[in-house]
């Protein structure tokens, strides 16, 4: 992976603040999802706990990414008349972006697992979908990593293409096979499920764009900054917002499954007066 030797002050602060935002969002969503588990029926709590795990794992890795980035660059020229402040890479290991791929290898399969878990599908259908989605998601991440760390554009294109194959298969399972399996879900759940799938497609679409920036002629510090922004914002949407939508689906299904639970929740809702 090409190490960027110098960042302007604006570039450094942009990446610094973006990573900080992502870390805070992951940590806050973890706490919310764990606190919200009693607000759904027990059969749907596993999905919320797994979603909280996804955000916790991501928060840990963003802490490591943030620490790696902030310790990899030092300010040079600050306070010197006529000298523009820049941040130079410290000699040594440099910025470690491998944390992202470790995070994705753990959290992407869990994201797909929570999607299946919250629907409470029949056991045989659930197992079938998970056996298709989990290995494909791991393969997608594993095949993408060699392309991320190489500076050779040809190798990057080859690994990127290989990684796209399981990605397309996952989309097929989510949009075709999962749709067939979820036909018995309440109407509102069907709408929310469609939103989940489109959210995944939109956010996961950011990763190949960021991945391909060097092949589009956007390289150096600009490519590095755009990639950090793209990856971080996509992670927040694909984990935090996704987790909140999982919670919403779990609430809808809980209300639909148990009228007594729904009545109790309505009684406990804050008064509008």
130-141 confidence digits (pLDDT tens): 999 999 999 999
Measured in degrees and rounded to the nearest 5, phi and psi for residue 86 equal -130, 170
Residue 269 scores a pLDDT above 70: no
For residue 242, being part of any structural domain is answered with: yes
Taking residues 169-193, report their average pLDDT. 84
What CA–CA distance (Å, rounded) separates 118 from 47?
A: 5
Taking residues 101-125, report their average pLDDT. 91
Find the helix packing angle between 242-257 and 187-204, rounded to 10°. 170
For residue 158, being part of any structural domain is answered with: yes
Number of domains in the chain: 1
For residue 273, being part of any structural domain is answered with: no
pLDDT given for residue 221 in this prediction: 85
What range defines the domain where residue 51 resides?
A: 6-268
**Structure token pair of residue 30:** 């973890």
Cα R_g (the chain), whole angstroms: 21
CATH of residue 224's domain is 1.20.1070.10
* Lowest mean pLDDT, pick from 51-55, 73-77, 117-121: 73-77
For residue 1, being part of any structural domain is answered with: no
Q: Identify the band that residue 172 occupies on the pLDDT scale cut at 50, 70 and 90.
A: very high
pLDDT given for residue 267 in this prediction: 72
For residue 172, being part of any structural domain is answered with: yes
For residue 203, being part of any structural domain is answered with: yes
Contact of 132 with 138, CB cutoff 8 Å: no
Q: Identify the band that residue 229 occupies on the pLDDT scale cut at 50, 70 and 90.
A: very high
For residue 126, being part of any structural domain is answered with: yes
Helix (H) or strand (E) holding 210: helix 206-211
**Structure token pair of residue 148:** 């991320």
Please report where in the chains the tokens 């990605």 appear, as a residue: 167
């Amino acid at each position: 992976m090409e190490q960027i030797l110098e960042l302007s002050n604006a570039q450094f602060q942009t990446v610094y603040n973006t990573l900080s935002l992502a870390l805070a969002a992951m940590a806050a969503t973890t706490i919310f999802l764990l606190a919200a588990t009693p607000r759904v029926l027990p059969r749907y709590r596993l999905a919320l706990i797994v979603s909280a795990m996804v955000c916790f794992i991501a928060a840990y890795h963003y802490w490591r990414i943030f620490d790696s980035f902030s310790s990899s660059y030092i300010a040079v020229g600050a306070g010197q008349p006529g000298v523009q402040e820049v941040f130079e890479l410290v000699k040594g290991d440099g910025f470690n972006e491998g944390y992202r791929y470790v995070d994705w290898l753990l959290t992407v399969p869990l994201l797909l697992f929570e999607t299946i878990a919250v629907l409470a599908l029949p056991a045989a259908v659930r197992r079938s979908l998970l056996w298709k989605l989990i290995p494909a998601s791991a393969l997608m991440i594993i095949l993408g990593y060699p392309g991320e760390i190489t500076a050779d554009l040809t190798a990057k294109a080859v690994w990127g293409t290989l990684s796209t194959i399981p990605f397309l298969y996952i989309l097929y399972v989510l949009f075709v096979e999962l749709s067939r399996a979820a036909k018995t879900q309440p109407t509102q759940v069907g709408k929310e499920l469609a939103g989940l799938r489109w959210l995944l497609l939109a956010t996961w679409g950011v990763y190949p764009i960021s991945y391909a920036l060097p092949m589009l002629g956007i390289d150096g510090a600009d490519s590095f900054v755009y990639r950090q922004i793209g990856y971080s914002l996509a992670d927040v949407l694909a984990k935090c917002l996704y987790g909140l939508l999982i919670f919403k689906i779990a609430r809808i299904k809980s209300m639909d499954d148990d009228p007594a639970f729904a009545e109790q929740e309505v009684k406990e809702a804050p008064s509008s007066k």
